[in-house]
Copies of this chain bind each other. A is one copy, B any other.
Amino acid sequence: MTPADAPAQEWQVSQWFNTPAPLSLGALRGRVVMAVAFQMLCPGCVSQALPQAQRVREAFREEDVAVIGLHTVFEHHDAMAPTSLKAFLHEYRIGLPVGVDEPDATCAIPHTMAAYQMRGTPTLLLYDRQGRLRRHMFGHVSDMQLGADVMALVGSQGDSRFRAETAGACTAEGCA
């Protein structure tokens, strides 16, 4: 791992989906970056982490926060090859840029997953505008905690998108 005040290690990606050009931490410098390491057959990734990543993307401005996925396959490799991932992203309508963590010829753990010493999937990585790793977490957190944490990194120059819903709310005319 790199020192806390240095930019974090780059992702090692063999193939990208949903982006016109490869992405890198370096190229995203200046924005907060949230990366979700996932596997397409990991139940908690599909039901929790990926939908949450899409909510982060909707809650913040694109110029403030970049959200990407990393497909870190460490088991059932033949069931989660890039061709399967492509079908998964299409069927689940996942529009996030997703990079395939580079497989290791001699080990089940792919390169980025190993370099970051991830315990499993999903793993959340949060980087500040200087590309420094500020959160590294296995599992998932609540939307409120994540919204707060991302905002702490976005800082005062950013803003969230505030939209109210009124289902069940009451006015003098009755309850919606």
**Residues of A bordering B, CB below 8 Å:** 39, 41-48, 55-56, 59-60, 74-76, 78-80, 83-84, 86-88, 90-93, 108, 119-122, 135, 137-152, 154-156, 159-172, 175-176
Contacts and interface: CB of A to CB of B under 8 A. Distances in A.
Contacts of A48: 167-168
A1 to B, nearest CB: 19
Contact of A141 (B88, B162, B172): B162
24 contacts: A39-B170, A42-B168, A43-B91, A44-B166, A44-B168, A48-B167, A59-B144, A76-B91, A79-B83, A91-B170, A120-B172, A121-B169, A122-B169, A135-B162, A140-B164, A140-B165, A141-B162, A141-B165, A142-B163, A145-B162, A148-B150, A149-B160, A149-B162, A151-B152
Nearest to A135: B162
Nearest to A118: B171
Contacts of A80: 84, 87
B119 A171 contact: yes
B170 A59 contact: no
Contacts of A44: 166-170, 175-176
Nearest to A81: B79
B41 A88 contact: yes
Given A121-B169, A148-B147, A142 B41 contact: no
